[in-house]
Structure 1
């Protein structure tokens, strides 16, 4: 493993975009950030594929400009292989904490970095 500062920085920037309401409510903007083979295991334990996530994201938490927003902290990343970056961090939204892990891969078609996998694990209160 190595640290590819440019790849990690790009993955971090795109991860932050995905947490913003403007992107979450736009299928077009979200579409360009999710890998064709995207999979997520959410904090609820639900498994999401790309199409399910694209359809549901505008209505999920963090999508309303006037509602609770994700507050990320401690985001770090490492290049696992050329064109593959792993990010880890924590979020708080509406008082609930989760530990998060994302894998980003650089698309060979010139579209840049896309989220391939994401997992959220709830952090118990207290």
Structure 2
């Protein structure tokens, strides 16, 4: 169930910023959006840590001059608890679809929303 709250909108905005080529190319900008305890399980099955992701982002797809950008769609989100938002959405790039799930957290009202966890799951061709 999607509840379009301010918290959900802020998490979606953060997610979209992380797809921005300029943010992907900038460690300081990406650092603002990733929680220091960040973990990702990528579409390949690889587990990424905060430091690994910050180091790799500038060379990953969607960075300036590195392949096409992801086309996101079907965002849904829910505030699970104060300071914790769960987002789900899909991306498409070069005809390949991926279902994505992210947890965004804010440690206190003055802190920014940061991605705490992300998982990407490829969608097999022909799957709805």
TM-score after normalising by structure 2: 0.92
Number of the residue aligned with 2:48:
48
Rounded Cα–Cα distance in structure 1 between residues aligned with 2:10 and 2:67: 27
The match for 1:85 is 85
RMSD: 1.7
TM-score w.r.t. length of structure 1: 0.93
Deviates further, 32-41 or 3-12 = 3-12
Runs of 4+ in 1 over 6 A off after TM superposition: none
What is the aligned residue count? 126
| 1:64 CA drift (Å) | 2.4
- In 2, Cα distance between equivalents of 1:27 and 1:56: 10
Match of 2:39 in 1: 39
State the shift of 1:112 in Å. Answer: 1.0
User: Which 5+ residue runs of structure 1 have no aligned equivalent?
Assistant: none
Equivalence for 2:120: 120
Offset from partner CA, 1:23-81 (integer Å, 9 cap, x none)? 10000100000001000000000000000000001101111257300100100100000
CA contact (8 A) 1:2 1:80 kept: no
Report the Cα distance in structure 2 between the residues aligned to 1:114 and 1:45, rounded to whole angstroms: 22
